[in-house]
Structure formats: structure tokens, C-alpha cells
Amino acid sequence: MPARKKLLILAGDGIGPEVMAQVRRVIAWFDRFRVVSFGVVEGLVGGASFDAHGTPLTEETLADAKAADAVLLGAVGGPKWDGLPFESKPERGLLRLRKEMALFANLRPAIVFESMAEAAALRPELVRGLDIMIVRELIGGIYFGEPRGIEELPDGSRRGVNTQVYTTEEIRRVARVAFEIAGKRTGKVCSVDKANVMESGVLWREEVQSLRDEEFPDIALTHMYADNCAMQLVREPKQFDVIVTDNMFGDILSDEAAMLTGSLGMLPSASLGAASGKGYRPALYEPVHGSAPDIVGKNLANPLAAFLSFAMMLRHSFALGDEAELVETAVGNVLAGGMRTADILQPGTAKVSTLVMGDAVLRELGKLTA
């Protein structure tokens, strides 16, 4: 039997606990029927942690996260905590978790399930079969660079400053993640920068290219300016396989790519740190959506992004690609069968609750492994 994997579940706020309750059912199914099993520890994060402990992330939870093989997070935030000072806000808990775990690579897939092609923002033929992975640098660049701030000038006007800054090491470690992922896909990486107008972009391009030449000769690497990439994503998205880019461009391009797929309730993500010698890599998996205060407690939340985040965990933390595919296929089959939560309802499909969607995916997992 493979070792029992240690998971920390941080369900968080709003619909976080509702979708994570469904993920727990899938975990229990894996424990019962598959070769991998999980030891689950639960913790609080965000507003739930603030209410219980006066902080959005306790030292104990942080220690649990660092001790786990992987962390699964639901969502944080909500109007209840909007008035809190900046340092106590629920989102600070998540940001601190990412920073303390040094999760520098954010993976955002944009996948269009066959039966969802009609629901996408672009013409179906442009997105049918789409499968892009955006690898975004997450803890460097202009969102963190110094100097930063707003200062007053002698004439009484003000100046806002942020600094785009990247080192060789910061660029190469995220490019390495992109090359490794591409090696398990079609072997194509497009690196995105603004080397035409930014020195940090020139360095980005040179370092990504030299890492490819030194260590990943089989990867087909191309480079693209970020503005062109934004355009190409809506013109001909299927030209891309893996895109690697910096923090700010990745922030924008991954949201753009997400909209190619239809719904927020379908989008998973992973954030990875550096692999240690023994193969361990700190990792956090979470749906892209937030806590959806408008639908909380109504059994309306779409749990598919949370299921697909769990599948990403199987693939990227535990090298269980076949098991990940099993979950993804189950989700695809349920969608093909015409079941939809309210957020992805289309003409001719049946509206179901969070719980019924969970039932359907579990039933499909059973069928696929019968």
C-alpha cells in the first residue's frame, strides 16, 4: 500500500465549507476503493479563523499546513469581515499562507469540457477541446517589489510607485515548473513578457530561454509579448499548451483564459513551492472562485471546481495522474449527462443542488471503476 497522504483541509468561509463537504465525500470514496488513502486534518482560515481566534491564520494552522503533504482550501472572505483592518481581513490569511509556504508557481488550467463548449464566451469551434495551463509566478514581481508606496511631491501633487523586479533564481524556478508540466503534456511552452519595453522582461526572456537550452532541450519554447498573448487568447486559444509568465501578466491572462471556459464554479488552481530532494513540494489547491456570499447556505454552490482542485492535487502532489483523470472523467461524464448547478445551467439541462452534483460525481466514479 502507498503511504497514507497527509492532507490539511481549510474549508474557510461562505460556500467554502459547502464545496469542501463534497470533496470530503470523494476523499472517503478514495479511502475505501482506491490504492491511495488520506489522513485528514481540519483547520480554520479567513473569517472563520478570525471569529474563533482573532486572526485569519494562526501559527498552529500554518504549522499544520507546512507539515501536510498538501493543503486543500475552500474560499475565504465575505461581507461580515469587510470592515476589519487590513491585517485582519480573511484574504490576509490566504496571502500569508502562500507567502510562508513559499508557493511561487500558480497553476491555472483553462479546460473546456465537451458538453460545455456551447456555454463559453467564444464561438464553440474556437474553444471545443481547449486545454491550456497557465503557470503564473506568484510571490515576486511588481506586486511585491520595492520601492513601493504613494509619496507627496514638493508641488503638493502625489506619486504612486511600484517596482517590477525579478532575479535569475525567481525566473528559473517558475520556468522549471512550466517545463516539467509541459513535458507531461504536449511539450510546448509559450513564455510571456514585455521584453520590448521592460528590462525585467529582457531578463525574463533570456533566463527562460537559457534554462530551456541547458536542461529541457525537448521542450518547444516560444516567446510572446503580453499584449499579443491577450489578443491571441481570444483569437485562437488552442494554439497554446503551457503559458509561463510573471505575477501581473499571469493575474490578467489567467482570468482572461478562465472566461474562455464558461464558469467560475468550474475552475481549479494549484500553488506550488520548491521541490525538496525527497520529492516533497509544498502545495495548496483551491477553486478559483471566492466565498460567493450571495448563494451561501442555499445548496446552490457548484462543487466541480473543488473536485477538479482535488484532481490537480492527485496529479501534482502525488504523481497519481490516472486517479486525477478518473475524477476529471467523472466530472466530464456528469456534465455530458446534462446535470448542472444553477451557475452553469443551459437550455435542455437539469438544475441540481450542490449535494446532488456531489452524488452524481460519486456515482460516476463508482461506474468508471466497476
Per DSSP, the residues of 192-228 read EE-TTT-HHHHHHHHHHHHHHHHH-TTSEEEEEEHHH
255 is catalytic: yes
- Residue closer to ligand NAD by CB (options 320, 331) is 331
* Annotated catalytic residue within 6, 51, 66, 143: 143
- Residue closer to ligand NAD by CB (options 43, 290) is 290
275 secondary structure, DSSP code: P
| Residue 257 identity (one-letter amino acid) | A
* Annotated catalytic residue within 64, 131, 255, 343: 255
- Residue closer to ligand NAD by CB (options 169, 294) is 294
Main-chain dihedrals φ then ψ at residue 151, nearest 5 degrees: -125, 155
C-alpha cell at 93: 490569511
CA separation, residue 368 to residues 33, 272, 335, 337 (Å): 12, 30, 15, 14
**Burial, 234: exposed, middle or buried (Cβ in 10 Å; 0-12, 13-18, 19+)?**
middle
Strand order in the sheet with 188-193: 38-43, 5-12, 70-75, 283-287, 268-272, 105-111, 131-137, 242-245, 188-193, 220-225
Shortest spacing between CB 116 and ligand NAD, in angstroms: 14
Helices and strands (H, E) in the chain, number of each type: 12, 14
301 secondary structure, DSSP code: -
Shortest spacing between CB 288 and ligand NAD, in angstroms: 7
143 is catalytic: yes
Shortest spacing between CB 45 and ligand NAD, in angstroms: 9
Shortest spacing between CB 121 and ligand NAD, in angstroms: 15
Q: What is the C-alpha to C-alpha distance for residues 16 and 287, in angstroms, rounded to an integer?
A: 9
C-alpha cell at 190: 509559450
Which residues contribute to the site for ligand NAD (CB under 6 A)?
15, 75-78, 91, 94, 264-265, 286, 289-295, 301-302, 305, 341, 343
285 is catalytic: no
Rg (CA), the chain: 21
Shortest spacing between CB 13 and ligand NAD, in angstroms: 8
- Residue closer to ligand NAD by CB (options 126, 252) is 252
Closest CA to 25 of 369, 365, 367: 365
* Annotated catalytic residue within 213, 227, 294, 322: 227
Shortest spacing between CB 117 and ligand NAD, in angstroms: 20
Shortest spacing between CB 56 and ligand NAD, in angstroms: 11
Counting every residue written for the chain, the total comes to 370
Q: What angle do CA 209, 235, 185 make, to 5 degrees?
A: 45
Contacts (Cβ under 8 Å, ≥6 apart) of 154: none
* Annotated catalytic residue within 13, 193, 246, 251: 251
Shortest spacing between CB 337 and ligand NAD, in angstroms: 19
Cβ-contact 39, 7 below 8 angstroms: yes
C-alpha cell at 97: 499562507
322 is catalytic: no
- Residue closer to ligand NAD by CB (options 104, 307) is 307
- Residue closer to ligand NAD by CB (options 7, 182) is 7
Q: Which of the residues are catalytic? A: 143, 194, 227, 251, 255
